[in-house]
Structure 1
Amino acid sequence: MRLTSTRSIYFSLLLILAFACGKKEEGCALSSEILNQDLTLKINRIDKDFFNAKNASDFNFLIEEHPEFAKEYLQVDLYPSPDSLATELLRVHQDSAMRVLFDSVEHVYSDFSDVEKELETAFKAITYYFPEFQIPEVYTFVSGFNSDLIVTDEMIVIGLDYFLPPSHTFQPELPRYMAERYDKPFIVPMIVMAISARFNETNPTDNTLLAEMIYYGKTYHFTKAILPCTSDQYIIGYTPEAISESFDNEELIWSHFVENELLYITNPFEIRKYIGEAPFTDAISTNAPGRLGRWLGWNIVDDYQFNQDVTLEELMAEPDAEKIFRESGYRPRKAGS
C-alpha cells in the first residue's frame, strides 16, 4: 500500500496481532491440559440427509430426528403441521438448481473431518477458559444462499454453500472484498468470533469509536487465544500483504486518529467510516483496507493484556474501554520494528 500524505492512513476490521504481521505461528499449540479434555464433537450433516431423502416421509423423519434444528432453523412452528414443512422441503429438494448447488458443496465438503477437528479443539479451549460454556449442537446445511452462519447458545448452523471457494461458479450476492472471506479456512474463526460475544462485556452507555474499537479488539484477541495456530489473515480477513502494510504504516494510522480527535466521537456515520464493512477506509486512503478501527483496537487490546498480565477471562469481563486503552500503554510500532 502506498500512502500519499500524512493524513493517508488505513484501518482494518478483523483481528491482527499487535507485534507482527504475517507472524509465524511457532510454538502455537494449545497446552496438553486443554487438548486432553474429554470432549467429542459430532457434526450433523443435514445437507447430506436432506439431499438423500426420497419423499415427504423421509423429511418428516428428519424433522423428528432433529427437533431443535426444525424449530429454530426450519421454523416448523410457522407451518400448519410438520407435514406441511415436509412437503415444502420436498419441493426445495426437487429444485434442479438446489441439486446442482448441493453437488458442488458435496464435491468440496464430502470430507468435513478437518473442520470438525478444528472446531472440536476450539470448543476444548473455550471450555477450559470458560467452564460455563455449553457445547452447542452443530449442523451443516445447504441454504440456497439464505444464511451463512447461525450461532446461538444451543445451536450452530453452517451454510456450506456460502463457503465454496471464491473461484467457484456459485457465489453469494456479496461484494467481492467480503466474498473472499467466505472460504473454508474462515469457518471456525467466524464461529469463534461469534461465540466470543457472549463473554465480551461492554458498557452500554459508551457509544464512542474507542468503545467499538476495543470491543472488536477483544473479539479478535479472544479468537487468537482460542485458535493460536490460525493465521491472522483468517481472523481479520486481510491478505498477508494488507496486514504487513498496516503494520508498516501503524504510526501514520495512529496519527490520523489522534490528529482528528476520533477516539471519542459518537456520530454513528463517522464511526462507520472506521468500523463498518468497506473495501477501503477512504477517510484515510483508498489504498487502505476497510475496518481499520477494528484492527487498531486489536493492537491496543493485545498491549493491554500483555502489559497488565490479565487472563483471557479477566480481559473479556472488563467493560471499561477507556481503562483498557489507558492501561494498555499502546504506542504504534515503527516500520521494521
Structure 2
Amino acid sequence: MRISKPLFFFLISLLAFACGKKEEECKLDEAILNQDINLQVTRLEDEFFGAKTADDFKFLMEKHPEFVKEYLQLESYPSADSLAAELLTIHQDSAMRVLYDSVRVEFQDFSQIEKDLENAFKAIKYNFPEFQIPKVYTFVSGFNSDLIVTEDLIVIGLDYFLPATHTFQPDQPRYLADRYEAPYIVPMLVTVISSRFNKTDPSDNTLLAEMIYYGKSYHFTKAILPCTSDQYIIGYTPEQIAESFDNEEYIWAHFVENELLYETNPFELRKYVGEAPFTDAISTKAPGRLGRWLGWNIVDDYVINNNVSLAQLMEEADAEKIFRQSGYRPRPPAE
C-alpha cells in the first residue's frame, strides 16, 4: 500500500499518545458500572483435570449439564458412559497435561478478564435490557474449540489464547493465530454477542450489506468497550490501522471504480470481507477484510451524523439507508 511517512509517524505517535493517556482519560459511564449483575465464571479446566476416574467425569457431567450439552456435544455419543471414558483418556494424555499446566501458568490470574467481561455485560444490559447474563466457563479444549457462545452459555477455550511464542499452537494460519491472545478474548465475545442484536435484510446480498453488517458489529463492540484499542476489535496491528487510514481515499476509489458496493457474487464478496492475510484485489500489503473496515467507518459516520443510539443502529436493517445517510467521505491521503 502507498504510505506517507510523515503522516504514518504522526499517526503512530498519536496512537502512542492516546494509549499513554487511555487509563487517565477513558472512564466508563457510572450509570453502567453501578448496575448489579450476577456474573458466574467457572474454571472448568481445574475440575476436569482434577478428575481421576470415569465416575469422576460422570459426576462433573451431571454437575454442569449445559456445558456437557453445548460444548462436549453429549448427543453425538452413544451414552454418557462413552463420553466419560473418552474424557478420561484425553485428560490422561501427557500432551494435554502439559497444555493444561501452561494454561494454569498463563491464566492463573483471570481477574482482569473477568472484570472486563463483567463491565461489557453491564454495558450490553444497559443498552439492551432484554440481555440475560450467560454462565461463563473456561476450559482447555486441546485446540478443539476456541469460543462457544449461546444466549445462556459461554465457553472460552483458554489454550487457544496462549501467547504466540508458546510451543503449542492451534492449527491455523499465522495471520489468524496472531489474534488469539488474551487481550482479544473479551472483544471477540462482545462481537459475537452483537450478532443477536444486528438486524439485517435477508434479501440484500450485496457487498454493501456485508460491509454495513460488520461495520455495525465493530461499532457495537467499540461502544460496549470504549477503552479497548481498535486493534483488538478488528484484529489489525496499529501499523495496519494507520496505513489503512492513510490510504482510505485510494481504498474507497477501488470500491467505487469497480462498482463493488452492489456486487452479489459470493466469490467477489469474499475478497473484501472474508478472512485472508491481505486484500489481494487491492494490494498484497493491504490487510485482509478491508470491506469490513470500510463498513465500520461508514457506520461510525452514520451514527455521528444522525445522532442515533446504539439500540437504534442495531435495529436498522436497511444497509442502503445507513450508507446514504452516513454522509461518508474518505479522508484524503497525505501529500
TM-score by length of 2: 0.93
Q: Structure 1 residue 66: deviation in Å? A: 0.5
- SS of the aligned residue for 1:44 comes to strand
In structure 1, C-alpha distance between the alignment counterparts of 2:205 and 2:90, rounded to whole Å: 44
State the number of aligned residues: 322
Residues 37, 122 of structure 2: 8 Å contact kept: yes
- SS of the aligned residue for 1:86 comes to helix
The residue number in structure 2 matching 1:195 is 193
Query: Match for 2:165 among 164, 167, 181?
Result: 167
Q: Structure 1 residue 21: deviation in Å? A: 6.6
Report Cα offsets for 1:26-74 as digits up to 9, x if no partner. Answer: 7432211100100132211111111111212221221111111111111
User: What are the equivalent positions in structure 2 for 1:15-54 lying under 5 Å apart?
Assistant: 24=18, 25=22, 27-54=25-52
In structure 2, C-alpha distance between the alignment counterparts of 1:189 and 1:22, rounded to whole Å: 20
In structure 2, C-alpha distance between the alignment counterparts of 1:27 and 1:158, rounded to whole Å: 30
The residue number in structure 2 matching 1:277 is 275
- Is it true that 1:86 corresponds to 2:84 in the alignment? yes
In structure 1, C-alpha distance between the alignment counterparts of 2:74 and 2:323, rounded to whole Å: 47
- SS of the aligned residue for 2:87 comes to helix
The residue number in structure 2 matching 1:12 is none
- Higher relative CO (CA 8 A, sep ≥ 6), structure 1 or 2? 1
Report Cα offsets for 1:194-221 as digits up to 9, x if no partner. Answer: 0000000000000000000000000000
Query: Match for 1:176 among 174, 177, 182?
Result: 174
Matched-pair identity in %: 72
In structure 2, C-alpha distance between the alignment counterparts of 1:77 and 1:176, rounded to whole Å: 34
For 1:56, give the aligned amino acid. Answer: A
Single out whichever of 158-167 and 84-93 deviates more from structure 2.
84-93
The residue number in structure 2 matching 1:312 is 310
For 1:215, give the aligned amino acid. Answer: Y
The residue number in structure 1 matching 2:125 is 127
The residue number in structure 2 matching 1:218 is 216
In structure 2, C-alpha distance between the alignment counterparts of 1:50 and 1:104, rounded to whole Å: 15
- Is it true that 1:2 corresponds to 2:2 in the alignment? yes
Q: Root-mean-square deviation (CA), in Å?
A: 1.7
Query: Match for 1:243 among 241, 249, 255?
Result: 241
For 1:251, give the aligned amino acid. Answer: E
Structure 2 unmatched ranges of 5 or more: 5-13
Residues 38, 133 of structure 2: 8 Å contact kept: no
In structure 1, C-alpha distance between the alignment counterparts of 2:99 and 2:220, rounded to whole Å: 34
TM-score by length of 1: 0.92
**Hey, which of these two has a bigger chunk of helix by percent?**
2
For 1:94, give the aligned amino acid. Answer: Q
Q: Structure 1 residue 289: deviation in Å? A: 0.6
In structure 2, C-alpha distance between the alignment counterparts of 1:334 and 1:151, rounded to whole Å: 40
In structure 2, C-alpha distance between the alignment counterparts of 1:259 and 1:50, rounded to whole Å: 56
Query: Match for 2:147 among 146, 149, 164?
Result: 149
